[in-house]
Structure 1
Amino acid sequence: MTTTFPDLDDPVHSVLAGVDVLDRKQVEQAVMQLLRTLGVPADSEVGRNTPRRMTDALVQMLTPQSWTFTTFPNDEGNHDLVLTRGIAFTSLCAHHLLPFSGYAHIGFYPGAKLPGLSKIARTVEMFAAQLQVQENLGQQIAGFLEAQLACDGVGVVLEAEHLCMTRRGVRAAGADTLTVATRGRLQRDHGARTEFLQLAVRSGRTA
């Protein structure tokens, strides 16, 4: 079975639609006005070219790539935890437009379908490509995988450094944030949840 994303007409993915209709000209004009407010001369190299460069960067970070979610029949009746660890991601803080980066550790108890393992990483990439709050990002990934796989349980651990906390405000250098999102068996079964969290955090792949 294959499903191609992003399908912006699908309510599951409508959260991504704003980026798809991003008006590059308006973004460049807004950046130009911001630079002038910050005292950058319009006729300088920065004043002339940074609006385009910044727009390019935002489009790259906030545009999810088209991809196909591939699944295979669980012919051997696999039922034990499958865990993919250390998936690197970068997103943009919805509150400050500063990056936060880290690693995702994702586990699931298989149902009738198994995913191509690279599709787990693609899922993280898709939902990270928007203005985000880390807590929401984990919940979106978990909900999406649960729906796609019809599995017995999904867990998502995200560990990330937020520049809006480590480079501004309190400037808590070295601090990271860990969030957990679970569904199904990984939410209701204490033993399964404990096993998942111990294996996920043991990965040692932190930001």
Structure 2
Amino acid sequence: MAVDRERVAALVRELLEAIGENPDRPGLKQTPERVADAYSEFFAGVGADAAAPLAHTISVTRGPAPDTLPSGAVMLRDILFRSVCEHHLLPFRGHAHIAYLPGERVVGLGSLPKVVEILSSRPQVQERLGEQIADAIAASLDTRGVLVVLDATHECVTMRGGRQTDASTVTIAARGELAEPAARAELITLMAGPPVAPRPSGGRGWPS
């Protein structure tokens, strides 16, 4: 479902008028169209199939290296994501860390960020986003367990209300064998290790 840019632009113009601004002044004249373009990107995941990137899997027993079977978890950490909080329509952004215990089939690592991108590109709350990522992976792959940790900063926390500029929110979603805290403790430790890239949120120190 594509964003209706013309309708968004018209509503943004009305919003500017509602806050007492003049949408025809030079600085705001192109704002409705700019916001419509931005919303087309921010909400491109509305109605999209988050499982689609996971459709192509690789057999670990009949694949290119059948004698190299995974003995532990497959992990991809520090996946950058951004989304829009559905409560205030303000952005939140951070890193997603994903691990799963593969069965007979695995998926290309590049598919995991695509799942995050689709599900984050819609009005969201962080708690639900992590659960949806875990559900998509668990339902699409032959996994024994899935773990998704999201670490993000929310502008509804940092820029309004108490304005806690250093606060970050951590959520954990787990499926299968990794639903047990003891089973996922090692993975949580690895995910919370030194970041591989500059981070928009605070330091790590997550519960298991």
Does 2:12 align with 1:31? yes
Q: TM-score, normalised by structure 2?
A: 0.84
Q: Distance in 2 between matches of 1:101 and 1:42?
A: 29
**Preserved CA contact (<8 Å) 1:85 1:106:** yes
Q: For structure 2, which runs of at least 5 residues remain unmatched after alignment?
A: 62-67, 202-208
The residue type paired with residue 101 of structure 2 is Y
Structure with more helix by fraction? 1
Aligned partner of residue 48 in structure 1, secondary structure:
coil
Cα RMSD between the aligned structures? Answer: 1.7
The residue type paired with residue 176 of structure 1 is S
1:51-89 CA-to-partner distances (Å, cap 9, x unmatched) read: 000010011111038974331001233130111110000
Aligned partner of residue 89 in structure 2, secondary structure:
coil
**Preserved CA contact (<8 Å) 2:53 2:112:** no
1:88-137 CA-to-partner distances (Å, cap 9, x unmatched) read: 00000010111101001110100111110011111111100000000000
User: Match for residue 115 of structure 2?
Assistant: 123
The residue type paired with residue 63 of structure 1 is A
Q: Distance in 1 between matches of 2:123 and 2:194?
A: 27
**Preserved CA contact (<8 Å) 1:32 1:47:** no
Q: Distance in 2 between matches of 1:47 and 1:193?
A: 50
Quote the offset at 1:203 in angstroms.
4.1
Find 1:169's aligned residue among 161, 169, 183: 161
User: Match for residue 135 of structure 1?
Assistant: 127
Find 2:195's aligned residue among 184, 204, 207: 204
Quote the offset at 1:21 in angstroms.
4.4
Query: Structure 1 residues 72, 203: CA separation in 2 closer, same or farther (over 3 Å shift)?
Result: farther
User: Match for residue 104 of structure 1?
Assistant: 96
User: Match for residue 4 of structure 1?
Assistant: none
The residue type paired with residue 187 of structure 2 is F
The residue type paired with residue 192 of structure 1 is A
Residue pairs, 1:1-207, within 5 angstroms = 20-64=1-45, 68-69=53-54, 70-75=56-61, 76-188=68-180, 190-204=181-195, 206=199, 207=201
Q: For structure 1, which runs of at least 5 residues remain unmatched after alignment?
A: 1-19
The residue type paired with residue 81 of structure 1 is A
Aligned partner of residue 15 in structure 2, secondary structure:
helix
Q: Distance in 2 between matches of 1:113 and 1:165?
A: 41
Q: Distance in 2 between matches of 1:194 and 1:68?
A: 28
Q: TM-score, normalised by structure 1?
A: 0.84
Quote the offset at 1:164 in angstroms.
0.6
The residue type paired with residue 71 of structure 1 is T
